[in-house]
Amino acid sequence: MKYMTINNRKVAFDDEKNVLAVIRKAGIELPTFCYLSELSTYGACRMCVVEDDRGKIFASCSEEPKDGMVIYTNTPRLQHHRKMILELLLASHCTDCTTCRTNGACILLKLANQLGVNYVRFQNNKPKLPLDYSSPCIVFDPNKCILCGDCVRTCTEIQGLGILDFVHRGSKMRVTTAFGRPLSETSCVGCGQCRVVCPTGAITVKQNIHPVWEALADKDTKVVAQIAPAVRVAVGDKFGLPEGENALGKLVAALKLMGFDQVYDTNFGADLTVMEEAQELVEKIEAGDLPLFTSCCPGWVKFCEEKFPELRKHISSCRSPQQMFSAVLKEEARMDTEDNRKTVVVSIMPCTAKKAEILRPEHRTDGEQDTDYVLTTTEITRMIKEAGIDLASIKAAPMDMPFGLSSGGAAIFGVTGGVTEAVLRRLVGSYEPEDLEAIKFTGIRGNDGIKEATVNLKGREVKIAVVNGLKNAGIVMNGIKSGDMYYDFVEVMACRSGCVAGGGQPVPVTPQIKAARTEGIYEIDDEKQIKISSDNPFVIALYDGLLKGKQQKLLHNHHE
């Protein structure tokens, strides 16, 4: 064991990758903008500076820990440095903080307050740059960028896309796309992971709050909500509920108070997806037409279309749970001749890419858009606050029937491996604890970027890959293209860890918070009596009723 002395206290360490990690392990929360443990070390923000016993000042994120090191983290010189850095950052930052979308979550503001920077001596002489509203998913405001590069490295290192990068240099440096094109003209998939890591308001979720309030206020409109699996374990974040706690009942109660006419579960849509996708997998196995890729994640679908168009044909024809469910809801409304109100479907999602998914031409039925609006968890959080509701103290309410009932298999759609696990449960079709456990431990759970499993289905070994993070998806797709890898079934979720860490979820999203949300999702599954989608009685009833003869029309996409 090696030791270093931090603020006169001896701290043991072994394989921490830098001094900052040792300091944080010792319980000292050094501020940073540009350091995220999942990304490469950039060392630009200089907030994590420390001083050694010889008075040398260095950035702790970029220094290897050495045995016998003596460092101080809070000397007057360091305080002066940090305050100066913050003052300079604030000097070139757009300071409309009172009306900023990130008000309350801004790390720049938080640190300025924490470190006592209450006056800026310098004037901002940067010209105001136009905002990029072109993406349906995110808004980019270059005036609020502090050049930490977290978005650049996330887009490149985690998502393998590299849409954003630094351009120009010195005082003219900024983060933008190639040739400064609008995001809508790039290969951006709208996953929103850049927004999750952005410490300021430079990248924010595109808001759809206003039209939803309008619809709620309109007496001639029936507003139907569906809530995605991963929202319920994150929506409590900004109301002081414990990390990862299932706040579904409270959320339903809040939505009812806000005026939603019906509140249903996207998990019901997920049950439909499991039915269809399991059937498609069996058909493809029998026909020898493999591999089959999942289609639930719109970020992944767009990624495949942009980067691997030749593999597009392997993506399942199944619509995502959101789109299956909205199509069913709208069809039901069209058939209801007694209710003359217009139906607006609002889906509450952990995801920014879902905002783009609903606009795709295949997601219109008889000329009508299936999902009208997508609100991310952050937006619904804001709406609950606007309505003056305290989610923490509100009494839980149940979802409406029949689409409020769902299986455990649907619940786990919110985490990586969940779609696969639900499909396997359906195909194995057993409630024996050992069978359920066997599926659980095939290797499809856990946080690895690429997970592999082999299961025996219908007398045949089926090779499965479960992928999260688009860079990993790129690795697997390249492997499949070159023939180095072979899988029968590939599940992809664009965001690392799956939807629990989606681009529309409340920030911060630390590894601990991801783990808590994942655990929360598995707890929901554990408490469900119905584990398998095909045992959801309302799913069966729907197939015998509304879906009769309309399965293809409502639940599948029809590409050429």
Partner 1 sequence: MLDQKYYDTADEIIALHGAKPSSLIPIIQDIQTEFRYLPGELLSYVADKIGITEAKAYSVATFYENFSFEPKGKYVIKVCDGTACHVRKSIPILERLYSVLGLSEDKATTDDMLFTLETVSCLGACGLAPVLTVNDKVYPAMTPDAAEDLIEELRGAE
Cα 183 from Cα 176, distance rounded (Å): 9
- Residue-by-residue DSSP string for 211-257: HHHHHHH-TTEEEEEEE-TTTTTTTTGGGTPPTT---HHHHHHHHHH
Among 407, 499, 528, 531, which one carries the catalytic annotation? Answer: 499
How many angstroms separate the CA atoms of 156 and 166, rounded? Answer: 12
Tokens encoding 253 = 């109660």
Catalytic choice (214, 362, 386, 527)? 362
Would you call 351 a catalytic residue per the annotation? Answer: no
Pick from 318, 368, 348: nearest CA to 558: 318
Of 178 and 541, which has the nearer Cβ to partner 1? 178
CB of 305 to partner 1, least distance (A): 17
Answer positive or negative: Cα dihedral of 296, 298, 304, 310.
positive
Nearer to partner 1, 387 or 475 (CB): 475
Which residues in this chain contact partner 1 in the complex, by CB under 8 A? 156, 161-169, 177-179
CB of 351 to partner 1, least distance (A): 23
Is 296 known to be catalytic? yes
Q: Which residues contact 407 (CB under 8 A, 6 or more apart)?
A: 267, 271, 274, 422, 528, 530, 531, 532, 533, 535, 536
Contact 492, 343 (CB under 8 A): no
**Of residues 109 and 158, the one with the C-beta less far from partner 1:** 158
Nearest residue (CB) to partner 1, 95 versus 187: 187
Where do the DSSP E strands lie in 449-548?
450-457, 460-468, 489-493
Q: Is 354 a catalytic residue?
A: yes
Compute the chain's Rg from CA coordinates.
25
Residue 28 or 39 with smaller CB distance to partner 1: 39
CA–CA distance, 361 with 320 (Å, rounded to integer)? 14
Catalytic residue of the set 206, 250, 354, 514: 354
Minimum separation from the CB atom of position 474 to partner 1 (A): 12
Burial class for 40, CB neighbours closer than 10 Å (0-12, 13-18, 19+): exposed
Would you mind telling me the total number of residues written for the chain in this entry? Answer: 560
- The residue among 165 and 448 lying less far from partner 1, judged by its C-beta, is 165
CB of 175 to partner 1, least distance (A): 9
Distance, in Å, from the CA atom of 518 to the CA atom of 506, rounded to the nearest integer, reads 15
What are the DSSP calls for 492-513, one per residue? EESSTTSGGG-TTS-S---HHH
CB–CB of 189/302 below 8 Å? yes
Phi-psi category of residue 525: left, alpha or beta, with phi > 0 → left and psi -120 to 50 → alpha: alpha
- Alpha-carbon distance 26 to 22, whole Å? 6
In the bound complex, what is the minimum distance in angstroms from residue 168's beta carbon to partner 1?
Answer: 5
DSSP 415: S
Q: Which of 65/299 has CB closer to partner 1?
A: 299
- Torsion sign (Cα): 239, 243, 248, 249: negative
Which of 51, 245, 276, 280 is catalytic? The answer is: 280
Residue 155's region, left for phi above 0, alpha for psi from -120 to 50, else beta, is alpha
List of long-range contacts for 447-450, beta carbons under 8 Å, 24+ apart: 447/416, 447/496, 447/497, 447/514, 447/515, 447/518, 449/496, 450/475, 450/476
Q: Is 362 a catalytic residue?
A: yes
The CB-of-137 to partner 1 minimum distance in angstroms stands at: 18
Burial (CB count within 10 angstroms: exposed 0-12, middle 13-18, buried 19+), residue 527 = exposed
Q: How far is the CB of 176 from partner 1 (least distance, A)?
A: 8
| Active-site entry in 63, 357, 379, 421 | 357
- Answer yes or no: 316 catalytic: yes
Q: Is 499 a catalytic residue?
A: yes
CB of residue 186 vs partner 1: minimum separation in angstroms?
Answer: 8
**Looking at beta carbons only, is 149 or 291 nearer to partner 1?**
149
Q: Return the number of the residue (174 or 284) whose C-beta is nearest partner 1.
A: 174
Q: Which of 51, 277, 331, 421 is catalytic?
A: 277
Bridge partners (DSSP) listed for residue 466: 451, 491
Smallest distance, Å, CB 52 to partner 1? 33
Q: Is 214 exposed, middle or buried (0-12, 13-18, 19+ CB in 10 A)?
A: exposed
Query: Judged by CB, which is closer to partner 1: 163, or 304?
Result: 163
Give me the least distance between CB of 68 and partner 1, in Å please: 38
Which positions are annotated as active-site residues?
Answer: 277, 280, 296, 316, 354, 357, 362, 499
